[in-house]
Chain A
Amino acid sequence: MMKQLLHTPEGVRDIYGTEYARKVEVENRIHSVLSLYGYQDIQTPTFEFFDVFSKEIGTTPSRELYKFFDKENNTLVLRPDFTPSIARCAAKYFSEEKLPLRLCYAGNTFTNRSDLQGKLKESTQMGAELIGDCSVEADAEMISMVVQALLDTGLKRFQISIGQVEYFKGLCAEAGLDEETEMQLRACISGKNYFAAQELLVERRVQEPYMTRLLKVADMCGDMCSLTEARAMVNNDRSITAIDRLEKLYQVLSAYGVADYVSFDLGMLSKYNYYTGVIFKAYTYGVGDAVVKGGRYDKLLTQFGREAGAVGFCVLTDHILEALSRQKVELPVPEAPEVLHYTEETFQECLAQAKRIRGEGRPVVLTAATGGNR
């Protein structure tokens, strides 16, 4: 029985001591960047109705959600991410005139993934959402905020990959693919699985030149030149508009002075329909997955009865910490408190001294000289 009491369930853990001090430090640094851009903190409930995170809205499959019931038998869900909650909140409380809204959050999210050993089921996310602004400047603001936040945590080598789902969708429409084929192809291309994509296209009898063009999307990543190449390959407004937007975005990012950190990847396609325009992910050494994920989701708020474009990102704080320690980036940990030992006789005197030190804003610990065991 004793063992049961001491251990935490698989996928959750205690964070304490220096590790937690580092985490708080990183969170503070990211938060101060978000504040400098004028984002207001918002807190949403840890659990919500299932519908808020359902298939039409969320990015987490139903079987990976922690579900339970309330007294009226409604299905409740522990949040797997923040964006749907923030969208619901924005649709509910903020009137049209208040737009655009700049909101930021921090908290823990929960996903029930038993098959991925070594990955946490409870993880901390921080993020920002800009609601009611469809401009390319809004996209750029998000990306430059990500760059600034990552720089401030102490990471030096990282890269932001930017994609645009519309390019691929336009090309699929041009090639006349049906919806099912498009979804399957999307999964293959986002997994850079060239061969599965080829098999699929042969099986569905997709004609040239579209066959080669669709397969080429998987390889289309790199700098501005890759965009020029991509533009030459398509003949439809939807894809061209997508490329125009990315080129414009690059100009604004250059103005922000962060263009060196970005590259384009038109084969980066989210598996879900959630994202409608630009999507981006930040990568760095030391972690096997992206440390920041974000993008534009112009249709999400309509699910909650409000027409408003939005763009946002979330920082996976635990991944950042892992990257920082793998890359051996030093973080200042708060100074150790001064220790005052008191005896019964000297207690008054020590207490006065402690009060004075705390008054000066320095930490102090008051402890019995005998160790407190009487």
Chain B
Amino acid sequence: MSEDRYLTFALGKGRLANKTLELLESIGITCEEMKDKNSRKLIFTNEELKLRFFLAKGPDVPTYVEYGAADIGVVGRDTILEENRNVYEVLDLGFGKCRMCVCGPAAAGELLQHHERIRVASKYPHIAKDYFFNKKHQTVDIIKLNGSVELGPIVELSDVIVDIVETGSTLRENGLEVLEEVCPLSARMIVNPVSMQMERERIIKLVNQIREKLEESK
């Protein structure tokens, strides 16, 4: 609708951001400023294409997008499910693949077969609650932890954990295993609903370009 307005991207810090920039580069969208690792700038612009990029902590990306502070965001599906924000989820970018799982010592598998109350530790209390309440109909106590969730069953804080599993090596080293899979995860592109209406042409064009690129590399 308007060429003078910047389209703003919020990218989840770390590996996701790098992968996203690689992908954007492959369709001809570059941001030289961002490659300078010594830069202390928080926001990077591509004047030619009228694009802006910034890095944010993963869980904050859906928030920036919901409020329209960013038009487009790239973040893991785990964050989208946990935050449950009002955003459009338009693309599966295919990288950052892993699984959300219920894990614990093998003996804990028995506890999941019945509807009895168990303790679940997780960095993702909403996802854990939704899974046990709405899918398994099991009553659980959720304990929110902020990291090293694997400790939960080891020090007997909880019976099981709900966490992201990539290779499973951390689990094995600590005598835990995957008991059930909650859902598959990967990086997603999200769009603010208002931007989707107001900047439809630019956004749809971008989404289609990326979609084609992804199909090619499949």
Closest to A117 in B: B63
Contact status A192-B89, CB under 8 Å: yes
**B2 and A193 within 8 A (CB):** no
In chain A, residues 65-117, which have Cβ atoms closer than 8 Å to a Cβ of chain B? none
A238-266 interface (Cβ within 8 A of B)? 263, 265
Partner among A192, A222, A284 whose Cβ is within 8 Å of the Cβ of B191: A192
A279 to chain B, nearest CB (A): 14
Contact yes or no, A193 B88, CB < 8 A:
yes
Residues of B within 8 A of A285 (CB): 5, 194, 198
| A118–B1 alpha-carbon span in the complex (Å) | 29
| Cβ-based interface call for B196 (8 A) | yes
Complex contact B1–A191 (CB within 8 A): no
Count chain A residues whose beta carbon lies closer than 8 angstroms to a beta carbon of B. Answer: 23
- Interface 0/1 of B76-94, CB less than 8 Å to A: 0000000000111111100
Produce 1/0 per residue, A128-147, CB < 8 A to B: 00000000000000000000
Known: A157-B1, A157-B2. A284 touches B89 (CB 8 A): no
A194-B2 contact given A118-B67, A284-B198, CB 8 Å threshold: no
Report B203 CB to chain A, min CB distance, Å: 11
Interface-side segment among A29-37, A56-64, A287-295, A366-374:
A287-295
- A201 to B197 Cα, complex, angstroms: 26
Interface residues of B in 45-89 (CB under 8 A from A): 66-69, 86-89
Among A193, A196, A265, A283, the residue within 8 A (CB) of B198 is A283
Distance in angstroms between the alpha carbons of A263 and B198 in the assembled complex: 10
Question: Smallest Cβ distance from A82 to chain B, in angstroms?
Answer: 22
B158 at the interface (CB under 8 A from A): no
Chain B residues with Cβ below 8 Å from A290 are 193-194
* In the complex, A176 has a CB within 8 A of chain B: no
Chain B residues contacting A38 (CB-CB under 8 Å) are none
Check A273 for interface membership: any CB of B closer than 8 A: no
Which residues of chain B come closer than 8 Å to A161, judged between CB atoms? 197
Is residue B122 within 8 Å, beta carbon to beta carbon, of the partner chain?
Answer: no
A291 nearest in chain B by CB position: B194
Given contacts A118-B67, A157-B1, contact A289 B194 (CB under 8 A): yes
Residue B200 CB within 8 A of the other chain: yes
Q: Does A195 sit within 8 A of B, measured CB to CB?
A: yes
A55: min CB distance to chain B, Å: 18
Cα A152 to Cα B15 in complex, Å, equals 48
Number of A-B contacts (CB under 8 A): 58
Residues of A within 8 A of B86 (CB): 288-289
Contacting A at CB under 8 A, from B187-201, are 188, 191-194, 196-198, 200
Residues of A within 8 A of B2 (CB): 157
**In the complex, what residue of chain B is closest to A289 when comparing beta carbons?**
B194
In the bound complex, CA of A240 to CA of B187 (Å): 38
A150 to chain B, nearest CB (A): 13
CB interface residues, A 179-216, toward B, < 8 Å:
191-196
- Which residues of chain B have C-beta atoms less than 8 A from A289's C-beta? 86, 193-194
Which residue of B66, B88, B92 is within 8 Å of A192 (Cβ)?
A: B88
Q: Is A159's beta carbon under 8 Å from chain B?
A: yes
Asked if residues B67 and A288 are in contact (CB atoms below 8 Å), the reply is yes
Q: Give the CA-CA distance A263 to B86 in the complex, in Å.
A: 21
Min distance, Cβ A316 to any Cβ of chain B, angstroms: 12
Which chain B residues numbered 172 to 218 have a C-beta less than 8 Å away from chain A? 188, 191-194, 196-198, 200
The docked-state distance in angstroms from the alpha carbon of A222 to that of B1 is 12
Q: How far is the CB of A21 from chain B (nearest CB, A)?
A: 26
From known contacts A193-B88, A193-B89, infer whether A283 and B200 are also in contact, taking CB-CB under 8 Å: no
- Any B CB within 8 A of the CB of A221: yes
B1 engages A283 (CB within 8 Å): no
Out of B67, B192, B194, B200, name the residue touching A221 (CB < 8 Å).
B200
- What chain A residues lie within 8 Å of B68 (beta carbons)? 286-288
- Chain A nearest CB, measured from B200 CB (Å): 7
Tell me the smallest distance from the CB of A127 to a CB of chain B, in Å.
20
- Residues of chain B touching chain A, judged by Cβ–Cβ distance below 8 Å, are 1-2, 5, 66-69, 86-92, 188, 191-194, 196-198, 200
A-B contact list, 17 entries, CB within 8 Å: A118-B67, A157-B2, A159-B1, A161-B197, A191-B87, A191-B88, A191-B89, A192-B89, A192-B191, A192-B196, A194-B89, A195-B188, A283-B194, A284-B194, A284-B198, A285-B194, A289-B86
Q: A157-B2, A194-B91, A288-B67 are in contact. List 11 more A-B contacts (CB 8 A).
A: A192-B90, A196-B89, A222-B200, A263-B200, A283-B197, A285-B5, A287-B194, A288-B66, A288-B194, A289-B86, A289-B193
Give the top 6 A-B pairs by smallest Cβ distance, nearest first: A288-B68, A192-B88, A193-B89, A283-B197, A288-B67, A283-B194
